[in-house]
Amino acid sequence: MQKYLTITKAAKLLHVTPLTLRNWDNNGKLKAYRYPGNNYRVYRLDQIEAFLRQLEGSRAKKSARKIDIF
């Protein structure tokens, strides 16, 4: 069974605001599902975890870069 998170709980896990999640949904960066009763945005927990792993991977790549300063 899949667990769904409200936009507020998902935002807290990602350390962003709910408005950021709405913008990401509108831009296609992180797609939300709609609860059929009230049309609220909800996010699957496994989707949020995968997104966090993706963010951590991109951070690791950035920290591995070296810049020579002359």
Q: Is 4-64 CATH 1.10.1660.10?
A: yes
* Rounded average pLDDT over 26-36: 92
Q: How many C-beta atoms surround the C-beta of residue 10 within 10 A?
A: 23
Q: Are 4 and 44 in contact (CB under 8 A)?
A: yes
Quick check: pTM over 0.85? no
Domain spans in the chain, listed from the N-terminal domain onward: 4-64
* Rounded average pLDDT over 34-42: 91
Ramachandran region of residue 38, left (φ > 0), alpha (ψ -120 to 50) or beta? alpha
User: d(Cα 41, Cα 4) in Å, to the nearest integer?
Assistant: 10
Q: What pLDDT is recorded for position 62?
A: 63
The pLDDT of residue 59 is above 70: no
Helix (H, G, I), strand (E, B) or coil at 34: strand
